[in-house]
Amino acid sequence: TEKKTTMDAAKKAAGYKAVDDHVKSGMLVGLGTGSTAYFAVERVGMKLKSGELKNVKCIPTSVRTKEQAESLKIPLITLNEMPKGTMLDVAIDGADAVDPDMCLVKGGGGALLREKMVEVMSKKFICIVDETKLCSGLGPSFPLPVEITPFCHEHTLRVVAALPEVAGCKAVLRTGDCSNNKAEPGEKPAISDNGNYIVDLHFTKNIADVTKAAEAIKKVVGVVDHGIFQGMTYQTIIAYKDGSCKVAGKGGKKPWWGKTQYAPYLYGVAVVAHLAYLASSRMSK
């Protein structure tokens, strides 16, 4: 319980910082879904109530977020109501995994389609996570969700699982509560806000090529969308258990976790090995 309380405090710090740093009066804002995004929505509501923010309109990415925003009296619109040619000023949302290139896996809460539709229309997408979501590569740390149509879903699941680009994955149909990325025994298929099913792809190794995997999954007939969010993240705010936050990306530091932190070391090893090889070659001549 203490660990959960500490992590909730970290998530709250990241959510509040994202709103304080990026949301200004008069903006159009995308509101994410999940345990970390919850605090960003809470902060928008607080600042509207206090009068610190004015004339802000928001677009929620799920029914759950819509209900939370309505309870806080946050003015809401939909993508349909946006003037032609305009974009959201900013979208704030969490992620289930973040690699050193700030590619994300999202959809653990089942809202990946609406999240992607809103966030791809944002000038800035701010990702807010706690430190446990950082990884060296997408795949093993969190299953990749794929939203599919209910029609012949077992067939679509098999086609996705057989793609060479996701070789080695285990495809599992999500059952029970859609916001829980588990296959609950004896439960019916989980249904997204859009009336679709979700398949979670479990990996034991890093996805070899995230770009190719994303493209291949999207091309499968029966797939609605997937949880890979690539080339979309403007900034990632990472919360730590001690309550501090660090910023990666625009306005922050270059991502420091995963493979990047070992790059200088590996480069040094490669140089030494190469010099040793040259020396041995000269001696053998």
Point out the residues that are catalytic.
Answer: 115
Q: Report the alpha-carbon distance of residue 147 to residue 170 in Å, rounded.
A: 15
Contact present, 30 and 122 (Cβ < 8 Å): yes
Q: Report the alpha-carbon distance of residue 107 to residue 200 in Å, rounded.
A: 9
Nearest to 102 by CA among 260, 262, 263: 260
Six-digit token string for 218: 């999207």
Sign of CA dihedral 233, 139, 115, 38: negative
Q: Report the alpha-carbon distance of residue 237 to residue 149 in Å, rounded.
A: 34
> Which one-letter amino acid corresponds to residue 4?
K
The residues pairing with 247 across neighbouring beta strands, listed in sequence order, are 237
Six-digit token string for 14: 């990241």
Nearest to 147 by CA among 67, 62, 273, 46: 62
Q: Report the alpha-carbon distance of residue 278 to residue 255 in Å, rounded.
A: 34
7 in the Ramachandran plot: left (φ > 0), alpha (ψ -120 to 50) or beta? alpha
